Amino acid sequence: MSEETRLPPEPIPVTLLTGFLGAGKTTLLNQLLQQPGLADTAVLINEFGEIGLDHLLVQHFDDSTVLLASGCLCCTVRGDLVEGLEQLLRRMDNGAIPPFRRVVIETTGLADPAPILHVLMMHPYLVLRFRLDGVVTVVDAVNGNATLDEHPESVRQAAISDRIVLTKTDLVDTPERRAALDALLARLKRLAPGAPVLDAARGEATPEALLDAGLYDPSAKIPDVSRWLADEAIAAAEAESRGHAHDPNRHDERIRAFTVATDAPVSAAAIDMFLELVRGTHGAKLLRLKGIVKLAEDPEHPLVLHGVQHVLHPPSQLPAWPDEDRRTRLVMIVRDVEPAVIRRLFDAFMGLPMPDQPDGRVLADNPLAPATMRR
C-alpha cells in the first residue's frame, strides 16, 4: 500500500440548506444542481410526513440521493441522518456510485438546524469523513416578515446562517411590498450580520456565492479566517445597533450577534474553562460560536473553535496564522443573553477583574465549581 493510499481522505464539505415552509428551498436546489459548480454532489432530502413527495422534484435523483422520510430531521436526526450519510459513504467506498465531492442536506421547513450540526460536529466517524461547509437559509421576500414574527424556528434558521438567499423578490411589485422588503432586509442584517444576502431572482444565488463558506478556501488551500468569522461585519452591525431598543417579545430581537476580541495570548486552561462555563450556563441559548485563539502556550499555531449550543467541534490548530491579524477573536450568536454578560466573564478569565466580579483564579479554584473547571 502506497503512502498516498494510507492517508485519510479529505473530509467532504457539507452544505445545510434550510428555510421555513414555502420559502423555495427545493426550487433553489433544483436550479443549483443543474450547474457545473454542483457536479458530483450527493443530496439528502428530509421530508415531513409519512409519504415524501418533494424528492421527486429534485432532478438530481439517482443513487447519490437519499430520502429521509421518517419525520422531521430535528426529531430523528441522530438515526436517519447518520444512516443516510453512512449509506452514501458505503456506496462510494464500495464503488457502487461515483465519488462525490460535496453533500447538500435539504431540511424540512420546520427543522431546527442545530441537531443536524451536532451530528456533523460530534459523530466519531462522520467527523472524520465530513466537514461543515456552511448553512444556507432561504427566506421568502413576500412573507418573510410575517414568518419571522410568528415562527421562532425561522429566526434560528436565519441567525445561524452563513449565507441567506432571498426568494420571490420578483413579486415585490407595490410600494407596500417594497417597504416590507426593506424592513425584512434590515431584520436579516441584525439577525445575521455576517451572512451575505443573495437575491435569487437576480441570479445572485450561484454555487460560487453559496458554497465554500467554511474555514478553508479550496482554491488557495489555506484557511480564510476573516471570511469565515465575518467578525468585522458583526462588530460593525453591533456598533450600529447600540442604543437600539430591543423588544423581548419579538423573536428576532432576542437574538444578538457580537464579537469578543483581545490582543493578549490566552492560556489553554483559561479558554477551556471559559467555554465550559458558557456552555454550562448558556448552552441552549448559544446558537453558534466561531473563533480563533492565540494560545499562550503556542502563539504561532492558532486554535480554531466552532460550536453550536452546548456542542463544541473538536478544536484544531492551524499550522500558522493565515494573515497579519493575530488577535483572539470569538464570534457568538446568542438568544436571551446580553453580550456584556459574556464579555465580563471572558475578561475575568483574562485576568481583568472588575469591582464585585470574580476573576479567573477564583472561578477555577472555587471548590463549588464544576469538576471540569477546577485546577
Mean of pLDDT over the chain: 84
Please say if the pLDDT value at position 302 is more than 50: yes
- Residue 61: its pLDDT value, please? 47
Instruction: Match 430520502 to its residue by C-alpha cell.
Output: 67
| More reliable by pLDDT, 190 or 358 | 190
- Residue 82: its pLDDT value, please? 87
Give the count of beta carbons closer than 10 Å to the beta carbon of residue 208: 8
Please say if the pLDDT value at position 78 is more than 80: no
For residues 224 and 191, the answer to whether their CB atoms sit within 8 Å is: no
- Please state which of the ranges 179-183, 224-228, 317-321 shows the lowest mean pLDDT: 224-228
Please say if the pLDDT value at position 140 is more than 50: yes
Letter for the amino acid at 142?
A: V
Encode pLDDT of 337-364 as tens digits: 999 999 999 998 888 655 555 555 555 5
For residues 12 and 33, the answer to whether their CB atoms sit within 8 Å is: no
Cell, residue 270:
483559561
Q: Sign of the CA dihedral 153, 155, 156, 160? A: positive
How much of the chain, in percent, has pLDDT values that exceed 70? 80
Please say if the pLDDT value at position 259 is more than 80: yes
Cell, residue 289:
460560536
Encode pLDDT of 145-185 as tens digits: 999 999 999 999 999 999 999 999 999 999 999 999 999 99
Please say if the pLDDT value at position 60 is more than 70: no
For residues 113 and 157, the answer to whether their CB atoms sit within 8 Å is: yes
Residue 257 main-chain phi, psi, to 5 deg = -115, 130
